[in-house]
Structures are given as structure tokens and as C-alpha cells.
Structure 1
Amino acid sequence: MNYYLHIMIERHIQPLLQTLLTHFPCVVLTGVRQCGKTTLLNTLGSEWHHFDMENSADRQQLLADPDLFLRLHDDKLVIDEAQLAPPLFSALRVAIDRDRARKGRFLLSGSGSPELVTQISESLAGRVARVEMSPLSLSEAWQQPPSALYSLLTQGAPMPELQAAALARLTVQQVRDFWFAGGYPEPWLSNSEEFRNLWQRNYIDTYLLRDIGALFPSLNRDRFRQFVALLSQHSGNIINNADIARTLGVSEPTVRDWLRIAHDTYLWRHIPAWDRSAAKQLVKHPKGYLRDSGLLHRLLRIPDPQMLATHPVVGKSWEGMVVETLLRGFENAGIEVEPFHYRTRGGAEIDLILEGRFGNAQLLPVEIKLTQHGDKRALRSLSEFVATHHCPLGLVINNDERARWLDERILAIPAACL
């Protein structure tokens, strides 16, 4: 695949971005490095003026006099990597308030940065909309339109509609190719396996040595590298800070700080425990996933899909990819959901509990299976949760060829429909 194809891939978040620009004077697009933010911004049209804060000339032009700069560029202004120009934000607040009713004037982008989040919450509160962009989703990677399933779930659509929308749009091989490679656009679109390996290795080094070092200058990068390697081994598992601290020879507060850094820079997906049940003794520890399956496999030194198929992490890797695909689908559709995991001290477990609006319900429990067919006996925890919490629906996501009802309120759908 070539670069031309890269710039032509349709990103499912684009309609949401355009909608937000019609309602807010400023929109902030955040996301991990190399997920495609700049490429997306370049599709906005020639009326938009672009300035990149990683370009020293652009940065100096803005920082020389931020207020004057924004008076000269008071409409259709894109500022890429905005976190590198902190004085921008207070000047932007003044520029927005000068004409608060005018929408779609400013569009900022930025990688994971506490500085960016702080400036948005302190300087631009109430004036901006923030949206997170991820690497390619499963359907984006294979240039499929967004699945209708996400909106139907939130509408509480009738069961036949849900089943009809859950048609497999991809082959099992396509799903497995994406699962192994991950969703970063540049390596995904390369035909060279050598390039993919080199890209992933250098991406990890850049993330660890450049981004993290710049954002957290006092961080011990060698120890943090060890932490990230260890984190890959815990992807999909309950996270016990004390165990990780003992392994690395650091304090528990240090581990908490490092987990926060990994989550805030979009490397790690923190999944808290669901603890709303008074009738059950629940495990309160969180779990989490390395957000990109390709980077996970690189860190675990899994060189090919054949080794992945027999590796001890195969089930957790698959689970993490499906969780991330689901959450990206809801995010791209502008649908707000909160992810949790569920485990009782008696051993009952559900991979994912989504809190949001699902028709008249607020909970959607999801079980994820690598196998083709779901076993009803293995889904006892899901069935009990659906009954206890009066959920109209529970989902099983597997590798089947089509959607099937496993129970009156449990629908199994293929990952290839997402």
C-alpha cells in the first residue's frame, strides 16, 4: 500500500469533528502520536490556515505576540501540537470571548500532555469541545464505513435490528491481520514487514525517550522502560500495584504515577472495577490493556501470527483488541460510555461493563471470546449479571460468522461486524 492510500483513508471521527465545529468556537483534537491527527486536519479545506508548533518558525511567530497573532488569524485557524505553546491558551480565551457567538474558528491538536489538559480545563473551560482520536479502528483499517451497531445499541433498538446490523463485514483473516499488526496508520499501510518492525521499535523508543522525557523531565526513563515492558505482560489482567512495585524495586506511589502517565499518554487503557453491586463481594483492583495490539506484540517479542496463536497471552491480547475496537467505535460516533470490568471474590467475571445510555438501560455487559462459538455454560456470569441488573441485553463478541442468540437477552456477535 502506498502513501496516497494513507491520506485517502476515511476516518470515522471526521463527522463528529465537523459537528463540534458547528457548536463550539474551538475544538481540541487529542490523541497518541502518529494516530493520524495531522493527516485528518489537512483534509479540512484550503480556507483553514495551519501552524505547527513543532516547526520552530511557526512557534516563534505565535509566541512573539500571541494576542496579535490571534487577531491576525481570528478564524479557521489550526494549531498542531498546541501543548508546545503554553502562552497560546490565555490569549485564545481572550480571542474567543471577543466574539463568543462565532463558531468553528479554532482547531487545536495535541498529543498526550498534562499541560494541554490543564490549559483546557483552566483557561478554556466552557469554550471548547475536546475529542480523542485513536489509531485506525478495525473497520477503518479495511476501509469499511462505521458500523450502525453503536448507535442502535444506544437507541435500545429492537433485537431483530441489532442482529441484522451485526453482519460480519470482514473475513476472519482480515480481523486476525489487524489484531496482530495493530492500528497505527503508517506501519499498517506498508507492505514491508521489515518496515513495520523498524517503525514499531523506533516508535517505542521515541515515546519513551522523547515524549515522556519532555513531558516529565525528572522521570527515570530507564526504569520507566522496564515498567512499560512489565506492563505489556500484565495487559488484560488485574493490576496489583504492590506486586509491580516489588518486581521493579520501587514504591507503590511511583507505580501509581507511572500508570497515570501511561494512561494519560494513550499507551495504556485503565479499566476500573465496577463496584455498584451491594449484594456481591467485588474485586476492587483495576485492570488495563496496552491500547495497541501491534505494540503489545512487539513488546512481548511475538514475531508473527503463528507464534501469537500459541502464546500464553493470546486470549488477553484478543480481549484487549476487542475492547479497544468497541471503545473507539463509540468515541468516533460521539457516544459517551464509561468502561469497567467486573469480578467477584467468588470468581464470577465479565470482561467489560459499559455504563452509558442504552435505550432505557444504563448498563451493557460484554463478554469477549476468541473461539467461534460461545458456550452457554461458560456465560453463567453474564447471564446472572443481566438478570440481576435487569439489563435488556448482554453481548458476547467472538469469531463466529454471524450473530446468534445464545439466550433470550444474550446476543453473540462476530468481531468482524465492529
Structure 2
Amino acid sequence: MDRKRDLEDKIAALLKLFPAVAVIGARQCGKSTLARKLLPDWRYYDLENPNDYQLISSDPVAFFSINSGRVIIHEAQQYPELFRVLRGVIDADRNRKGRFLLTGSSSPEIGKGITESLAGRIATVEMWPFKQGELFQRPLSPLYDAIVSNRGMQALTDLSSTVTPEQSARVWLRGGFPEPAIHAAADHAYYKLWMDNYIRDYIARDIRSLFPRLNINNFRRFLLLLAQFSGHQLNMSEMARSLEVSVSTIKDYLDIIHQTFVWRNLPPYEKNSLKKIQKAAKGFFRDQGILHYLLRIADLDALLLHPVAGHSFESFVTEEIIRGLHCTMETGLEFFYYRTVDKSEVDLVVEGFFGLLPIEIKLNSALKQQDLRGLKNFIHDTGAPFGIVVNRAASIQQPAENIVQIPVHYL
């Protein structure tokens, strides 16, 4: 599983700029493997290992007096006091860069530690399961650098494919968690067992430990219900009635699953003053393999025939694009969806220092002009320079003057 990750160059660059870097993301997405591969000569401590936890927590000041740099601390959120101690260690030699690499898989604790104790001293990078090119050891598409460097639509027409259509479909169907993604092709039984254990462990370990007062049975039912809503605007009242809980409980559950990197809440883009905007919450499972496992979708044919196919493909593409953009050194990136009361829609709106980029996502390989209506309206209303359509076409095309079609296997 020792594959190059697209974030490696970014993390190496940030270690030259900051005393510490935190790599956060879902469990089993490869954080520990990346850290050890990128920094093989650094000392490695895992706070889920009782011996390492005792070594650091029993006397953290003494530990860091000996280990003042070149240290990897895995699952740092297990010892929240760590962040306060690190602040003093870093401030004692503030100009020294590249001293600590922290990893974490539970956003509430590690996020609080970073913002309250290490602000300005640490750079945070979010990691994910394999992007489609990472699984097949292909370099990151130049698409993302072209977007953030604001080189315009013409720079996107000369791209080449990252993977084959078949490889892209495999990652969409099975997801990108390293262990099942690598072994699933040879052993489907292993894939199912891994997914089942991952979901059980996520509920039993992460959720129970982070939120000990939570009703675990209700939360398990919530996950199964959420599979029916992934990729949709969320009707929280309907969800609350189905589970016989309050709407505020549903909001809490959505916040929990978002903060533990399993789900992405996508806010509405509300800055178009010319139109009335629908403001309902929208979100999706970040890894479509989890969604398809929960829905018992076994193969690509079954997926393409399933009512969830369009929303699942949209979620897969959205996540691929977000991951690709986060591999760049660009800051201030924000992601939205857009829908007006008159049903003008754009699946993904990216906002950054480069401006606005609307992206429409279609499962089919052939475009109809009506598929472009939402993009054209958004471009007209906001002055965005151009838009992108991502679908399963064979090659890049330009279906309108200010719109470029990019196949999913080019991402």
C-alpha cells in the first residue's frame, strides 16, 4: 500500500514554513503510512498505543525536552493536553521550522487544540482516502493548478486523462480507502468484511468515545437512513420523524458525522442577489464505497441501475475536485452548491482568490443543451468567467462559448 499521495509535496513544503503540521482525516485513510514514508528518520509515537500514550502523557514537558523536534505523533487528539504543551515547546524556539508532524482522525478534539493552543504555529492539511489517480499511481492532474493560478478556460482544453474510464468507475464504486481499494479486485469477500468492520468500529470506537452520552442505537439507525439522503438537500424534519427524534438531534448527528470526516456538509451559495436561493442543507458521504456498502450495491451494473446513481456520481466527482484543489498551496478555498427557487442549479461552486468557478456534474456521457441551463444562468448572474461540466464523456469538448466539458477520468 506504499503509494505516493498527492499531498506529500504540500506537506513537505509546509514543514519548511511552520514548526508543526497537522494531517487530519478519516480513520484508515493512510495518514500514518504517509507520515512514516515522508519522514522515515523521524521518531514515531502512536497515542492509541498504551505504551506511547503513557510515555508522553506521564510527563509531557520532560518528553519534549528530550524530543524537541523530528517527531511524529499519531492520533494526537487522544491526549488533548498535548496541544497546550506543544505551544510552549514551539515558542521556546519559534524560528525553528519542521519540528513536529501530528495526525488526527477526530476533528472536534484536534480542531479545538489547534485553534486554541497552536494558532499561527501549525499548518493543517486534510487527508482523504485514495483519489482515483493515487490508487493507480498517476500524477495529480494539472487541472487544479490551472484553476487556482487563474490561467483561464483555454488551459483546461489541453488536459490528458489521469486514469482510464474503467479505473475511475472502480474507485467510484468501491471507494478509496487504501486496504479495501487495493485488495477488493482480488477478494470481494475481504472488501465486504473490511467495510462492515470499519462502520462498526467507527460507531463503537470514535463515536462512543467522542460523544459518550450519545444514543448509539439511534446513531446507527441514522447512518442507514442517511444513505437514502446522500447527495440530496436534506429534509431534517422527515429524518427526525423517521427516527423519532428531534430536528436538533438530527443537526447534532450531521455535525458529528461531518466532524469525523465521514460526511461532508455542503452549504448553499447565497451571494447571488438577483435570485431567491434555496437554503436547505445538503451533504453526502465522502467515500462512495461506504454509501454503496450501506445500500448493498454490489457491482457497477447494479449501481448504474440504482436510483442513487446520479447523486452518488455527483458526490464522487465533487469530492475528487475538492481533494485535488486541496493538494495545491491555495488558501481560502470555499465550496458550495447552488439552487434557486425556480430550480436553476449548479452542483458545485468553488470560490477562491481566483474568483468563482461553477461546476455541473452529469452521469451521462452525452450532453443536452438543457443540461447547461443552470451553468449559463449562474455565469450570467455572477459574472463568473466560465464553467465546467464533468461527465463520463470520452474527451474534452467545448459545448458552449464559456463552458468546457471535462471527463471524470481526467480529474
TM-score range, shorter chain: over 0.9
Alignment of structure 1 residues 278-357 onto 2, 5 Å: 278-336=273-331, 337-357=333-353
AA aligned opposite 2:337: H
**Shift of residue 288, structure 1, vs aligned partner:** 0.6
Alignment partner of 2:29 out of 18, 32, 35:
35
In structure 2, do the counterparts of structure 1 residues 381 and 46 end up closer, same or farther at CA, with 3 Å as the change threshold?
closer
AA aligned opposite 1:255: I
Alignment of structure 1 residues 206-217 onto 2, 5 Å: 206-217=201-212
Equivalent residue, structure 1, for 2:88: 94
Alignment partner of 1:264 out of 259, 264, 287:
259
AA aligned opposite 1:291: R
Equivalent residue, structure 2, for 1:177: 170
Equivalent residue, structure 2, for 1:74: 68
Equivalent residue, structure 2, for 1:58: 52
Runs of at least 4 residues off by over 6 Å: none
Q: List runs of 5+ in structure 2 lacking aligned partners.
A: none
Asked if the contact 1:49/1:76 (under 8 Å) is kept, the reply is yes
**Shift of residue 158, structure 1, vs aligned partner:** 4.0
Q: Measure, in 2, the Cα distance between the counterparts of 1:45 and 1:125.
A: 23
Matched residue SS, 1:401? coil
Q: Measure, in 1, the Cα distance between the counterparts of 2:39 and 2:380.
A: 51
Percent of pairs with identical residues: 42
Asked if the contact 1:374/1:396 (under 8 Å) is kept, the reply is no
**Shift of residue 347, structure 1, vs aligned partner:** 1.2
The yes-or-no answer on 1:413 pairing with 2:409 is no
**Shift of residue 349, structure 1, vs aligned partner:** 1.1
Q: Measure, in 1, the Cα distance between the counterparts of 2:348 and 2:38.
A: 36
Equivalent residue, structure 2, for 1:3: none
Equivalent residue, structure 2, for 1:400: 393
Alignment partner of 1:363 out of 356, 380, 383:
356
The yes-or-no answer on 1:103 pairing with 2:117 is no
Asked if the contact 2:8/2:38 (under 8 Å) is kept, the reply is no
Q: Measure, in 2, the Cα distance between the counterparts of 1:45 and 1:204.
A: 30
Matched residue SS, 1:257? helix
AA aligned opposite 1:137: K
Alignment of structure 1 residues 211-250 onto 2, 5 Å: 211-250=206-245
RMSD across aligned positions (CA): 1.1
**Shift of residue 252, structure 1, vs aligned partner:** 1.0
**Shift of residue 253, structure 1, vs aligned partner:** 0.9
AA aligned opposite 2:230: S
TM-score norm. by structure 1 comes to 0.96
Q: Measure, in 1, the Cα distance between the counterparts of 2:238 and 2:263.
A: 18
The Cα offsets for residues 35-87 of structure 1, whole Å up to 9 and x where unpaired, read as: 00000011134431111101111110111110110010001011101111122
The yes-or-no answer on 1:273 pairing with 2:236 is no
**Shift of residue 97, structure 1, vs aligned partner:** 0.6
Alignment of structure 1 residues 365-384 onto 2, 5 Å: 365-384=358-377
In structure 2, do the counterparts of structure 1 residues 264 and 371 end up closer, same or farther at CA, with 3 Å as the change threshold?
same
In structure 2, do the counterparts of structure 1 residues 45 and 265 end up closer, same or farther at CA, with 3 Å as the change threshold?
closer
AA aligned opposite 2:296: R
AA aligned opposite 1:331: H
Q: Measure, in 2, the Cα distance between the counterparts of 1:90 and 1:395.
A: 44
Asked if the contact 1:351/1:366 (under 8 Å) is kept, the reply is yes
Q: List runs of 5+ in structure 1 lacking aligned partners.
A: 1-5
